[in-house]
């Protein structure tokens, strides 16, 4: 699990239950995307909550979730 500790003391990460994040202080958990089915049965990951693109379509939900995770790690967790 990667944690980004900002100079303000805030910590950003992709939520994961392997670490008790509450032990680090006050939590503010927000969605990074909306993974939803399309009308044709495929899946997209809408990254607009973090000012990103719509990824996909993907054949399965698990592929959309993996694309979401990779995009968040590369573009949101560690800013370019």
pLDDT tens figures, 4-46: 998 998 888 998 888 999 998 898 888 889 999 999 999 999 9
pLDDT value of position 68: 96
**pLDDT confidence of residue 70:** 95
Q: Which residue has the tokens 């995009």?
A: 71
Instruction: Tell me the pLDDT tens digit for each residue of 58-75.
Output: 999 999 999 999 999 999
């Amino acid at each position: 699990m990667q944690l980004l500790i900002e100079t303000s003391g805030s910590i950003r990460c992709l939520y994961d239950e392997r670490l008790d994040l509450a032990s680090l202080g006050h939590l503010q958990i927000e969605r990074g995307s909306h993974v939803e089915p399309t009308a044709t049965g495929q899946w997209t990951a809408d990254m607009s909550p973090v000012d990103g693109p719509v990824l996909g379509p993907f054949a399965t939900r698990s592929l959309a979730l993996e694309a979401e995770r990779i995009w968040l790690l590369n573009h949101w967790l560690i800013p370019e």
